[in-house]
Amino acid sequence: MSDSTETTTPQDIRHGTTRAPAWAWQGPGEPEALEQTEVDIGAPGDDEVLVATRASASIPSTGSSWRWTASCGKPVRFPGSMPRVR
Amino acid sequence: MDSELWQAGQIPGVDASGEVIACGANVTHVSPGDRIAVHTTLAGPGTFSKRLRVPARAVMRLPVTLGFNDAAAFPCPALTAWLAIEKLPVKAGRRLLITGASGSVGRWLIQLARQRDFHVIAVASEKRHADLKALGADETLTDAEQLDAPVYAVIDTINGDHARKMTRHLGANGHIVCIQDRLEQAAAPAFDRAISQHEVALGALHWAGDDEDWARLVAAGEGLLEAIADGTLNQPAPCIESFTALPAYLAELKRGERRALKFVITANE
């Protein structure tokens, strides 16, 4: 496999931390306009789980992740302007 | 569908892998410490965050030998392909045309179609043909116009207009499956070829799926993850970037300076 199987630290689990760094979308614009912030994820509901993220991704197609992100929030996105998943 | 429009502050990202650190009172099938992958809804907080709160019914447990980066690259393309192939009544040996076959979803479609004994015809640029045959394509074309006979089904990964053009290649009682968009009008006149039209969207489960729908998807996903881990099925290694590099990486994608079938942002730093 191409990456590690590193596990969550005991400290993570002990504290059940729900505040976390995240990238927030600030509206259509340049990708650099994404802002790093800290969000309160909150405790899991009865049918939910809280996850320590190890890796994340957006939609698959080359270059389309930005186009898709940039289009979100525009009224034209639904219907007829679909995210690409090739 | 105003609820689907993002507001400032929305966290992007739809796929993730990670480790469960807390469970709700009704959750019994996963426990803290379990390694999982998940696909999240476009309408809620996304995965570009170092903590996620997600429905337990949507999480897929990882094989012990599968890394987090490979797992994060998995949900959207693989599960989309699985939903698409599940639309088709399986008829061994029938000719299935896959357009955009060298993309992430296309590569999964080829492999899933071969598992179901379809005769797989993959459309992609010529430089990809050897690779796609290695995945299981029986035939490769650079253009669907090269077909020499009608096909039983088309899975189109390009767009709605392209899918409509592909319907001309369908025989009687054929199927068209649209990964992008959908056909807004019937593909053929009434009492003509009787073509069945299918639409695919992972979001359908987020909006309207019940527990049974999710259980089927998650079981299929966990099976595919096992198949990646044991080498039975192939998933291209993702391009990996750091969490802090996300905006710069998206900018490079926007300028066409980087190419990857799938990129992953690692949270380990």
- In 3D space, the residue among B81, B97, B197, B215 whose CA is nearest the CA of residue B147 turns out to be B97
pLDDT at B182: 87
* Residue range B167-223, pLDDT digits in tens: 999 999 999 999 988 899 999 999 999 999 999 998 899 989 999 999 999 999 999
Residue A74 burial (CB count, 10 A): 13
CATH number of B2-75+204-239: 3.90.180.10
> Quick one: closest CA in B to A14, which residue?
B21
Residues in CB range of B131: below 8 A, 6 or more apart = B102
d(CA A40, CA A2): 31
Provide, as residue numbers in chain B, all residues whose Cβ is less than 8 Å from the Cβ of A63: 253-254, 256, 258-259
Tokens encoding B263: 């990129």
Which amino acid appears at position B266 of this protein? Answer: T
pLDDT at A2: 40
The residue ranges of every structural domain in chain B are 2-75+204-239, 88-199
Does the pLDDT of residue A79 top 60, yes or no? no
Q: pTM of the prediction?
A: 0.90
The residue ranges of every structural domain in chain A are 13-41+48-77
Which of B48, B66, B179, B199 has the most A C-beta neighbours within 10 Å, making it the best mutation to test the interface with A?
B48
Mean pLDDT of A27-32: 70
CA distance B92 to chain A (A): 26
Low-confidence ranges of chain B (pLDDT < 70): 1-5, 268-269
Which amino acid appears at position B174 of this protein? Answer: G
Residue B241 burial (CB count, 10 A): 18
Higher confidence at residue A11 or residue B267? B267
Provide, as residue numbers in chain A, all residues whose Cβ is less than 8 Å from the Cβ of B214: none
pLDDT at A32: 66
The average confidence (pLDDT) of chain A is 68
Q: Which fold has domain B88-199?
A: Rossmann fold (3.40.50)
Question: Which residue among B7, B68, B73 sits closest to A54, beta carbon to beta carbon?
Answer: B68
